Amino acid sequence: MQPRLHALMLAATTLTMTAPAMAQTGSVARRPDSVLISVSGGAQQSANDISDHFSFPKNQETQTVDVNYPMKPTGLFDIGASFRVWKGLAFGAAFSRASGSGDVDVTTSVPHPFFFNQPRIVTGTDTGIQHAENGVHLQVQYIVPASNSVRVIVGAGPSWISVEQEAVTDVTVTESYPFDTAAFGGAVTKSTKASAMGYNASVDVTWMFARSVGVGGLVRYTRADVDLEPAAGRTLSMKAGGVQAGGGIRFVF
């Protein structure tokens, strides 16, 4: 995770807003509450690594490229709001952004310029490949009054996830006569975007330590199947989303 993300999460967890409490119990007088605002920082573990395979003509044969994008936990920022509409029933909306960078493992089979069926197998790793996901999550929620000061909100609903992925589009190899070996020179990448509808389900546990302010923890699973197009006619399918976990400040109105 990059330092920038750490700073973002820290800021998120220390951010304070003033708003009426959704539910106040215990030492804090209970009052009608209708809105909860949450601001959280945390991490996202994506569902799966991304694997890509593409090929193109080279030296009268086909050069194949296999790319593996290991999905490591990325930093998460999340902001959301819940609107109680009737008893424990609420509607919620949240925006999340998970971003980070990592390495990609590349394996390519490069046809020999002089001979058929004598490919050179070249492997290498390219670093600093950027990945980011923006999600908008809508939920139907049920507010579970666990105690006077603790609220548990469970919800589920559709998600719209936009993915911005730096994708490998080509591989550079270095070679020299007699061309029996080749070395990895680097990956040529291109930033590509795509979005898709998916779903989400979450649990948010909030403890109000003041009249309108509390802290909470969020666990959300969200998922959408996104088809990126790093090159014309080539699709890179990935499962966006994953398990999001974080904590932060809560405000109630």
Partner 1 sequence: MRYRGRALCAAVLAVCLFAWPNGHPAYGQAADAPRGRVTVRTESTAERRAWTSRVDSMLRDGELRLRESREDPLVPGRTQERADQYYRGVRVFGADVSRQLRNGATESIFGTIYEAITVETDPAIDEDRARELLGARLGVTIDASTPVELVVLPLDAGGYALAWRIRVVTRGDTRQYFINARTGASLLDYSDRKTQTAVGRATGVLGDLKKISVRTSGGQYQTRDDLRPPDIETYDMKGDPARTDRVLIGLVNLSSNDLGTDADNDWTDGAIGDAHIYAGYTYDYYFKRFGRRGLNNADLRMQNLVHPVRRADIDIYGDLYPDFFVNAFYNGNGVMVFGEGLPPNFTLDGQTIDYFAGAIDIVAHELTHGVTEYTSNLIYRNESGALNEAFSDIMGIAVEFFFQPPGNGPLKADYLMGEDVIRPGGTRSAENPGVFGDPDHFSKRFLGSADNGGVHINSTIASHAYYLAIEGGTNRTSGLSVQGVGQANREQMEKVFYRAFTQLMPANSTFSVARAATIQASRDLYGSNSAAERAVTQAWTAVGVN
- Where along the sequence are the contacts to partner 1 (CB under 8 A)? 59-60, 112-116, 172-179, 181, 183-186
Distance CA 236, CA 103 (A): 17
Name the residue nearer to partner 1 (CB basis): 115 or 209. Answer: 115
Name the residue nearer to partner 1 (CB basis): 45 or 109. Answer: 109
Name the residue nearer to partner 1 (CB basis): 178 or 233. Answer: 178
Structure tokens at 153: 């909100």
Name the residue nearer to partner 1 (CB basis): 183 or 197. Answer: 183
- Minimal distance in Å, beta carbon 69 to partner 1? 20
Distance CA 70, CA 45 (A): 11
β-partners of residue 143 are 153
Name the residue nearer to partner 1 (CB basis): 148 or 172. Answer: 172
- Minimal distance in Å, beta carbon 197 to partner 1? 40
- Minimal distance in Å, beta carbon 231 to partner 1? 17
In the chain, what's the furthest Cα-to-Cα distance? 84
- Minimal distance in Å, beta carbon 115 to partner 1? 6
Strands (DSSP E) contained in 25-119 are 35-46, 50-58, 61-69, 74-86, 89-110
DSSP-assigned letter for residue 117: T
What single letter denotes the amino acid at residue 230?
A: P
- Minimal distance in Å, beta carbon 68 to partner 1? 20
182: left (phi over 0), alpha (psi -120 to 50) or beta: beta
- Minimal distance in Å, beta carbon 189 to partner 1? 14
Count Cβ atoms within 10 A of the Cβ of residue 176 and give its class: 0-12 exposed, 13-18 middle, 19 or more buried: exposed
Distance CA 52, CA 40 (A): 33
Name the residue nearer to partner 1 (CB basis): 3 or 57. Answer: 57
